Each structure stands twice: as C-alpha cells, then as structure tokens.
Amino acid sequence: MRAHLRGDTAYSEFSQRLFVLGEARLPSDDIRMASIESVCTVVETASQLVNCVFPKLESNFRNMEWLSQRAILAHRNRTVDAINDELLQQIPCEERVYKSIDRTRDPEDVVDYPIELLNSLQPLGLPPHVLNLKAGFPIMLLLARPALRWLLTCRVQE
C-alpha cells in the first residue's frame, strides 16, 4: 500500500483501519451496525469539523506543508462555500472584496434582466460576483485556456 511505502505510521494506521472496515471486522452492536468512531472522529456541526481538521488555523495558515495534509470534501457547492467562509473568518488578516464587472460599454447591450439577478447567479466554472479574499489565504486558480489546462495553486500577496 502507498501508506506503507511512505513509512509514515499515521498513514499506515489509517490504511489498516480502512482495511478492517472493508473486511467488516469493526466492533459492532447487536444489530451489526459498525462503530464508525473507531475509524474517524464524529462531529455534529460544520464548525466542529472545521476546528477538528484545521486546529489553530490562525497560526498555521501560512504553513503549506501543514495545509497540504488537510482537506474537507463536500458534495454540494453551497456547503463548500460555507466551509470556506468559516475558514476565511479565522485568518487574522484584512479582508479584501473583489467584484466582477456588471456593466457594458454600450447601454444598448444591456439585457432585460435586473443586474441584481445576474449578479446572484453562480454558473459552474466562474467565480462569484463578490469574491472575499485575505492575504495569505490559499486559493486555487483554474486556467481555462486549452494550452494551459492545469491547476495552479497560489496565495494572495500582502
């Protein structure tokens, strides 16, 4: 296994726990319900999850190695946005607000939809109309040009 090859005991222990889960050898109750607490930490709120995965973020947010060992996956974009907003609030830097352009050069080109409605839409692959960032907060830029389809990780400079 990859965890064994890395030589890290934490990776090895976690992969072993996943193996035990897959083999249905976890401790269970009378109705054969597996005890998930033996594999992971169970939390009740998104805030608890953020604090469990990113403890002391305010002092570690500039440590790329520390950050690269953590991730929260979610199946809905609005959940991801809420988690990102909560993480952003923990960064002790000044917040900057960036807005997309919502007007045209020629007033004749204006469509029959209110600007507020258009600004509230969040099409896939496009950032929101209002983007809140802090210096040092990690962001991921996706380049859409066909020759440069690769992922670039960067930070906003102070």
pLDDT of residue 150: 45
Q: Are 16 and 2 in contact (CB under 8 A)?
A: no
- 154: Cβ–Cβ under 8 A, 6 or more apart, which residues? 139, 141
pTM: 0.62
H or E segment at 115?
A: helix 115-120
- 127: Cβ–Cβ under 8 A, 6 or more apart, which residues? 100
Tell me the one-letter amino acid at 43: V
How far apart CA 143 and CA 141 sit, in angstroms, is 6
Phi, psi torsion values for 9, nearest 5 degrees: -65, -35
Phi, psi torsion values for 114, nearest 5 degrees: -65, 140
- List the chain pLDDT tens, one digit each, 158 residues: 444 555 667 777 777 777 777 776 766 666 666 566 666 778 888 889 999 999 999 999 889 899 988 888 888 888 888 999 999 999 999 999 999 888 777 777 777 778 888 888 888 777 888 989 988 788 776 655 554 444 455 455 55
